[in-house]
């Protein structure tokens, strides 16, 4: 099927062709005709499947320039807000419809000014509620409401925020939910706030036949030397290394750089400008390493990721799926490497139990070279120890305590604040 067969407006069709899109993806083919007929739609598809263009067609079909705020897109993270905003503005080039992104972690006054002259808002729930409380946003003209990555928003504890926002929008509107998975919470939300929604699903973009998954059993002290060795000897394209906390993310990045591996970090503790800069640098590279928390596992569209490293296994097995879904896309091969130490085995067992069809092969430890760790810690595999001086990472209580504090802070912000 071609885009010409989807009853898209001539202006948008020309823009799509200019952007280089030739054929609609499965989710676009199934949802766009329904969206253009003003139906409420629940779309189930993975990140990178073309959901933004799908609901973007509905937004551009209904929104009139210079007539105030008419479309609202709710997203879970700042990065996704920026990405969706940029996409919508590129789609509306010929229509002159303006979209802005509204999220926490940045000054609110410029957003107040921008809200007065925009037709489309892409927002995280917490910051949008801030504007609602200060009466700097008017939702009475909303014609189309979109929840993008709906499951992620609910996982982050935003359901009460989302419901308050939905209730503030006009009852007579079109409502679209897009999500990687359709949970019972999403179904309940749809029952309450959608009118006879039509559910459409697209196949997962990850090709299991092209995805190889392996794991190493390594003591905590050998994890970092193993990661350095693998990155230096196996890297072929863009690489994502996932950690569970901000502290471990920064620790890994610092030590990769000390060992001549170019790496960038992204997590909720960085300012928005730094996070945007990191994502742009990584996405525009042909080779690179991005060390990140699960803030980068969902929503963001990053192409050409060849390897996923799980430096730590997530507690929720669904997060494992979202992480590995970053590779083996669109016919390309991909590889997932899990580094397991003592504290990872429970989480890894949960992944294997919940996804028993996965073939995850155990691989023997390779010979590890000597590496530098921080300023005073040196890995010496030949001495039979855990690889660290007595003041090293593996025995430093400060690191353990700060790790726990980071976990508590991350969990609090994940559950209470869209600024995360």
**What is the overall mean pLDDT for the chain?**
84
Identify whether residues 186 and 220 lie together within a single domain. no
DSSP state of 361: E
Identify whether residues 8 and 93 lie together within a single domain. yes
Mean pLDDT of 124-139: 96
Identify which has the larger pLDDT, 408 or 28: 28
Identify whether residues 383 and 234 lie together within a single domain. yes
Identify whether residues 19 and 154 lie together within a single domain. yes
Residue 101 has pLDDT above 50, yes or no: yes
Residue where a domain terminates, one of 139, 174, 201: 201
**Which residues span the domain enclosing 337?**
208-410
Q: Is residue 416 one of the residues assigned to a domain?
A: no
Chain center to CA of 33:
27
Identify whether residues 133 and 243 lie together within a single domain. no
Q: Is residue 417 one of the residues assigned to a domain?
A: no
Identify whether residues 137 and 106 lie together within a single domain. yes
Query: Using 50, 70 and 90 to split pLDDT, how confident is the model at 357?
Result: confident
Write phi, then psi, for 206 (nearest 5 degrees). Answer: -75, 130
Helix (H, G, I), strand (E, B) or coil at 306: strand
pLDDT at 300: 63
Identify whether residues 218 and 325 lie together within a single domain. yes
320 vs 297: CA distance, rounded Å: 9
Mean pLDDT of 378-395: 42
Identify whether residues 182 and 217 lie together within a single domain. no
Residue where a domain terminates, one of 201, 229, 244: 201
Q: C-alpha dihedral over 135, 137, 143, 146, to 10 degrees? A: -110
Query: Using 50, 70 and 90 to split pLDDT, how confident is the model at 403?
Result: low
Q: Is residue 96 one of the residues assigned to a domain?
A: yes
Tally of domains in the chain = 2
pLDDT at 298: 62
Mean pLDDT of 61-67: 94
Residue 362 has pLDDT above 50, yes or no: yes
pLDDT at 226: 96
Residue 317 has pLDDT above 60, yes or no: yes
What pTM did the predictor assign?
Answer: 0.67
Q: Supply angle C-alpha 350, 44, 193, rounded to 5.
A: 110
Q: Is residue 121 one of the residues assigned to a domain?
A: yes
DSSP readout, 204-253?
Answer: -SS-GGGEEEEEEE--HHHHHHHHHHHHHHH--SEEEEE-SSHHHHHHHH
Query: Using 50, 70 and 90 to split pLDDT, how confident is the model at 388?
Result: very low
13 vs 3: CA distance, rounded Å: 7
Identify whether residues 247 and 365 lie together within a single domain. yes
pLDDT at 284: 74
41 vs 48: CA distance, rounded Å: 18
Beta bridge partners of 44: 179, 201
Identify whether residues 56 and 98 lie together within a single domain. yes
Q: Is residue 33 one of the residues assigned to a domain?
A: yes
Residue 290 has pLDDT above 80, yes or no: yes
Residues 6+ apart with CB under 8 A from 37: none
Helix (H) or strand (E) holding 282: helix 272-283
pLDDT at 281: 78
Q: Is residue 415 one of the residues assigned to a domain?
A: no
Identify whether residues 144 and 222 lie together within a single domain. no
pLDDT at 152: 84
pLDDT at 315: 92
Q: Return the CATH number at 100.
A: 3.40.50.300
Chain center to CA of 398:
30
137-166 residue pLDDT tens: 999 999 999 999 898 888 888 999 999 999
Identify whether residues 193 and 310 lie together within a single domain. no
Of the listed ranges 23-32, 147-156, 386-395, the least confidently predicted one is 386-395
pLDDT at 235: 66
Residue where a domain terminates, one of 140, 171, 201: 201
Q: Is residue 419 one of the residues assigned to a domain?
A: no
Indicate if the alpha-carbon torsion angle 52, 46, 419, 171 is positive or negative: positive
Query: Using 50, 70 and 90 to split pLDDT, how confident is the model at 239?
Result: very high
Q: Is residue 216 one of the residues assigned to a domain?
A: yes
* Residue 165: how many other CB atoms lie within 10 Å: 22
Mean pLDDT of 316-334: 80
């Amino acid at each position: 099927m071609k885009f010409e067969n989807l009853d898209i407006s001539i202006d948008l069709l020309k823009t799509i062709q200019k952007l280089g899109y030739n054929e609609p993806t499965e989710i676009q083919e199934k949802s766009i005709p329904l969206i253009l007929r003003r139906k409420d739609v629940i779309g189930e598809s993975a990140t990178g499947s073309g959901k933004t263009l799908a609901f973007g067609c509905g937004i551009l079909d209904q929104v009139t320039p210079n007539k105030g705020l008419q479309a609202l897109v709710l997203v879970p993270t700042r990065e996704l807000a920026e990405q969706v905003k940029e996409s919508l503005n590129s789609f509306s080039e010929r229509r002159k419809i303006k979209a802005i992104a509204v999220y926490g972690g940045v000054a609110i006054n410029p957003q107040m000014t921008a809200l007065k002259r925009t037709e489309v808002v892409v927002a995280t729930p917490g910051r949008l509620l801030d504007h609602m409380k200060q009466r700097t946003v008017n939702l009475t003209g909303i014609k189309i409401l979109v929840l993008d990555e709906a499951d992620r928003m609910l996982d982050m504890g935003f359901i009460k925020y989302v419901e308050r926002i939905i209730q503030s929008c006009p009852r007579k509107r079109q409502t679209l939910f897009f999500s990687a998975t359709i949970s019972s919470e999403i179904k309940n939300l749809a029952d309450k706030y959608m009118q006879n929604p039509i559910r459409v699903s697209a196949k997962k973009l990850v090709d299991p036949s092209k995805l190889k998954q392996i794991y190493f059993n390594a003591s905590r002290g050998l994890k970092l030397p193993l990661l350095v060795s693998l990155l230096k000897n196996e890297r072929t394209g863009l690489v994502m290394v996932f950690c569970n906390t901000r502290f471990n993310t920064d620790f890994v990045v610092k030590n990769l750089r000390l060992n001549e591996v170019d790496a960038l970090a992204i997590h909720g503790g960085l300012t928005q400008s730094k996070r945007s800069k990191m994502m742009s640098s990584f996405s525009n590279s042909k080779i690179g390493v991005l060390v990140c928390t699960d803030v980068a596992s969902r929503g963001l569209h990053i192409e050409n990721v060849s390897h996923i490293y799980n430096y730590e296994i997530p507690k929720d097995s669904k997060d494992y799926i979202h992480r590995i879904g970053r590779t083996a896309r669109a016919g390309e091969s991909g590889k997932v490497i899990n580094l397991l130490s003592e504290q990872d085995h429970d989480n890894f067992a949960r992944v294997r139990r919940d996804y028993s069809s996965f073939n995850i092969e155990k691989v023997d430890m390779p010979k590890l070279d000597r590496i530098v760790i921080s300023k005073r810690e040196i890995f010496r595999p030949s001495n039979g120890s855990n690889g660290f001086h007595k003041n090293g990472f593996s025995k430093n209580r400060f690191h353990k305590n700060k790790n726990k504090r980071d976990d508590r802070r991350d969990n609090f912000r994940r559950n209470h604040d869209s600024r995360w």
